[in-house]
Structure 1
Amino acid sequence: MASKSKWIYQCRECGFESAKWMGKCPSCGEWNTFEEVVKEASAPQKAPSAGTRVSRPTPINEISMQEESRYHTGLSELDRVLGGGIVKGSLILISGDPGIGKSTMLLQICEHLGESLRILYVSGEESARQIKLRASRLGVHSPNLMVLTETDVQYVVETIRSEKPDLVMIDSIQTMNHTDLNSSPGSVTQVRECTNAMMRCAKSLDIPIIVVGHVNKDGAIAGPKVLEHIVDAVLYFEGDRQMTYRILRAVKNRYGSTNEIGVFDMGEGGLRQVENPSQAMLSGRPKDVSGTCVTAVMEGTRPILAEIQGLATTSGYGTPRRMATGFDYNRMALILAVLEKRAGYYFSNLDAYVNVVGGLRLDEPAVDLAVAMSLISSLKDKPIREDTVVFGEIGLAGELRSVSHGDLRIAEAARLGFTRCVLPKHGIKSLNSPLGKEIELIGARNLREAFEAAT
């Protein structure tokens, strides 16, 4: 007897199902996300027979402890984010805004990996000729790179099982289509089932699969949230398309840290990795100009120097404007409140703007002091000294609190030629004494002491 089907409404953001249309999804809280789809009644599941192969529990002491082998991509920045390279049998999701460099990076690593591996590049968005033109522009001519233009996920899985490549790339998962489902490609159901099919293929054949995922208008990965739970690693490209620098950040990684970032520079020849991000971020820094301050932040195990710009100007509106780029807006409002209440610097009738140069997005508390120094510098029109780097956390009482990894931050500043460092006074005690010979350490207890020392 044929299975019956019925019409239901499904949220395209989280996959919540409802018998009737609703304006707001009760699961994720998004508005106008319900779409009408056909749900087929599933056939009753049969119990496995005695001859059917099933998984057996294994004592943990009998599980092999051999170190997993990784494929090095040829881009040390990408290997850093992945935790050392691509793990066999892993499913990796790369996401980001359109045109930011996802497909470009995949083709670039094919040239290096193609020297020893057979790669299958599956595209549902471009023709084989378009891929060839882009590969020629990027200098990719590996004979071990195979191109397949197909959107049927079942045929793709069959091709993977028959060809048995060493690495598979899917561009993109939103274009893949499962013929057993009635919904259109890119819908919640299609994305979920296609990703599940890729996951089963990667684990059963021990073949790593890299999947490209699009983002929606809010910047989140398009499709259900369960998509991020299925894959082993989620890499996200950050940066503005109008700027050359791209930041690759690991949002999830089962085989490495999620605190590492990779820095790339987009040019005509594709993505070029930036080996020295601190020097790149500080290039073109203005001299003897108020409102700029250099700080040291930690991205995983790597210290990076970043330039913070602040601007305070007379407001032309009844309510002053506040704007932050690359820094948390609420954190900026808190710093402004502390500057007025505890330090006596008044911004209540002034517009205040904060910008992190280079496209970085900083959410570390150690950036607080540099943001405050840049705003005070603009307010007083008194520039911060060029040879000074500043870092520290600001408390609600106006005190300065020490931050972790002070040795690495100071060593990075000394390597780039900075001779003075303003930091919380309590943090100097935990530093190694040799650092004081390379760079002058100035401890400050509050905001006023820090600004006097920085100028």
Structure 2
Amino acid sequence: MKKAGRAAVYRCAECGFEVAKWVGRCPECQAWGTVEERGVLAPQRLIAGIPGTDARPIAQVDVESSRANPTGVGELDRVLGGGLVPGAVVLLAGEPGVGKSTLLLEVAHQWALNVGRCLYVTGEESAGQVRLRADRTGNLHDEIYLAAESDIAALLGQVDLVKPSMLIVDSVQTMSSLSVDGVPGGVSQVRAVTSGLIAVAKERNLPIVLVGHVTKDGSVAGPRVLEHLVDVVLQFEGDRHSSLRLLRGIKNRYGAADEVGCFELRDDGIVGVPDPSGLFLNRREQDVSGSAVTVVVEGKRPLLGEVQALVTPTSLPSPRRAVSGLDASRVAMVMAVLEKRGRVPMGNKDVFTATVGGMRLTEPAVDLALALAIASAAADQSLPHDLVVVGEVSLSGELRRVTGVGRRLAEAARLGYTRALVPPDAGKLPADTRALVAHDLGEALRLLKLK
């Protein structure tokens, strides 16, 4: 029997969420049967203590110690908001084999060249394996120190010995603490290891980069509290069949959280791509039907992308619908609108749609380009080579404007696209761009003589 005035603590073994009473399903991660009793919480009394530092007017607070230091990798600095802030803890998550370790070796090399000593601690590979990768990518430097450790106490001992100006831990799920129960990668271990590293980062003004695993659905593995504890969360994405890699900012206490950096993974390492639009376009000498160029916005960066479609007659009772790089449900909706509102028959035809360069296009601004690419393939008639298409298609066939049309078309004009098919009220357009305005999908097809 519990004593009066004391309450039991129940914690989810999956995500670490705490509730005051037992429940069968965790309110945070929706997992069944994971909430367990963790002991008794005594009531707290608030007692005034001695402040650690004196409060002062905000204008008198020193900011020089919080200035970001550029890492030397331009695309990473763009996402971080200028570089690594002293004492910041950055979590870099991504699928296995996407290039996280290769990127961090490049960061360590540039940091050693421009700032100071870097300590790289690996818990997944041996020191020899990391050295071989550094040889292959040309990232050897005397100020890069390498250690293979999986115990947090030994890791902190390495920090005391080396005294680095930046610490990289690959990965946080492989680290463990002997003072905490549980297996490495478990909720309690990840929380304890991360909390200890954050305390070291804040105490010594030491920037720390943690590598994190991801689950099957692409989210960061481990307890959700891990993302709340760190200062910056970055997602490293890419198709293993493509050399393109995107670094997305998910959370950033020191800058914008919607920036995107582009990298190209090569045999000899990884390099930033400051102007990636050319990777997503397939410029040809002659026009080909079934291709439309659009502009999407990744973070704050406009990128040109190409949508391709192939429409062929079929004798099968159920025509095939294949999608690559696009949202399958969105493609099905656009095809239904195209058939109903645009009067383009699709009943007895196979339809294949894809993007170029491994780019994934899920933004509603791609709807009009997708519809016109399919209509172009069905009519076997190419679109003008200098035309870019931007707009959302509603179920009624009406074209709706999207955000940042002027910024999108400015990027298209920079790459030589002089005509743009846009919805009404698109806003101010670049002076050297000729606008073709369509109110609905049928009017857009007529303007391009596809019906």
**Residue segments in structure 1 that go unaligned for 5+ positions in a row:** 1-7
Q: What's the offset of the Cα at 1:423?
A: 1.3
TM-score (norm 1): 0.85
Instruction: Note the alpha carbon deviations across 1:270-298, whole angstroms, 9 max, x for none.
Output: 11211221112214668432221110122
Please report how far the alpha carbon of residue 235 of structure 1 lies from its aligned counterpart in structure 2 after TM superposition. Answer: 1.1
Judge conservation of contact 1:173–1:213 (CA < 8 Å) in 2: yes
Name the structure 2 match of 1:101: 99
Matches within 5 A, 1:13-412: 27-30=28-31, 55=52, 58=55, 61=58, 64=61, 66=63, 68-115=66-113, 116-161=115-160, 163-283=162-282, 287-314=286-313, 320-348=319-347, 350-412=349-411
Task: State the Cα distance separating 1:91 from its structure 2 match.
Answer: 0.8
* Secondary structure at the counterpart of residue 170 of structure 1: strand
Match of 1:4 in 2: none
Tell me how many residue pairs correspond in the alignment.
438
Q: How far apart, CA to CA, are the structure 1 residues paired with 2:315 and 2:93?
A: 40
Distance 2:46 2:391 in 1: 61
Corresponding residue SS for 2:119: strand
Shift of 1:260: 1.8
- Structure 2 residue runs of 5 or longer lacking an equivalent are 1-9
Matched residue of 2:181: which SS?
coil
The amino acid of 1:259's aligned partner reads D
Aligned residue identity for 1:110: A
After superposition, what is the alpha-carbon deviation per residue over 1:87-145, rounded to whole angstroms, capped at 9, x for unaligned?
11111111111111100011112222102311111111122222211111111222111
Question: How far apart, in 2, do the equivalents of 1:201 and 1:323 lie?
Answer: 51
Q: In 2, are the aligned partners of 1:422 and 1:453 still within 8 Å (CA)?
A: no
SS of aligned partner of 2:425 = helix
Rounded to whole Å, the distance in 1 between the matches of 2:396 and 2:131 is 61
Identify the residue that residue 438 of structure 2 maps to in structure 1. Answer: 444
Distance 1:217 1:402, change over 3 A: closer
Question: 2:7 aligns to what?
Answer: none
1-side partners of 2:132 and 2:207: how far apart?
Answer: 26
SS in structure 2 at match of 1:343: coil
Could you tell me whether the CA contact under 8 Å between 1:16 and 1:27 is conserved in 2?
Answer: no
Contact 2:185/2:222 (<8 A) preserved: yes
Question: What residue identity is the alignment partner of 1:441?
Answer: A
The alpha-carbon deviation at position 167 of structure 1 amounts to: 0.6
Amino acid at match of 1:12: E
TM-score of the superposed pair, with normalisation by structure 2: 0.86
Which of 334-343 and 11-20 deviates more?
11-20
Q: CA deviation at 1:393?
A: 1.8
Mean CA deviation greater in 275-284 or 10-19: 10-19
Query: What is the alpha-carbon distance in structure 2 between the residues aligned to residue 188 and residue 134 of structure 1?
Result: 31
Q: Percent identity?
A: 40
Cα distance in 2 for residues equivalent to 1:154 and 1:258:
33
Q: 8 Å contact 1:247–1:360 — kept in the other structure?
A: no
Cα distance in 1 for residues equivalent to 2:315 and 2:386:
35
CA RMSD in angstroms, aligned pairs only: 3.2
Deviation per CA, 1:48-74: give whole Å up to 9, x if none: 999x86546735536626363112122
**What is the CA distance between 1:226 and its match in structure 2?**
1.7
Inter-partner Cα distance in structure 1 for 2:40 and 2:444: 67
> Hey, what's the Cα distance between the residues in 2 that align with 1:406 and 1:27?
38
- 2:149 and 2:40 map into 1 onto residues whose CA distance is 28
| Shift of residue 191, structure 1, vs aligned partner | 1.4
Return the letter of the residue paired with 1:446. D
**What is the CA–CA distance in structure 2 between the aligned matches of 1:144 and 1:317, rounded to whole Å?**
64
Give 1:5's aligned residue: none
Tell me the secondary structure at the aligned position of residue 87 of structure 1. coil
C-alpha contact (below 8 Å) 1:9/1:17 kept by paired residues: yes
- Amino acid corresponding to residue 439 of structure 1 in structure 2: T
Measure the CA separation in 2 of the matches of 1:131 and 1:47: 51
Contact 1:388 1:454 in 2 (8 A): no
Q: What is residue 12 of structure 1 aligned with on the other side?
A: 14
CA 1:43–1:370 in 2, change beyond 3 Å: closer, same or farther?
closer
- Range moving further from structure 2, 236-245 or 316-325: 316-325
Change (3 A) 1:193 1:63: farther
Task: For residue 439 of structure 1, report the CA deviation from its aligned partner.
Answer: 3.2
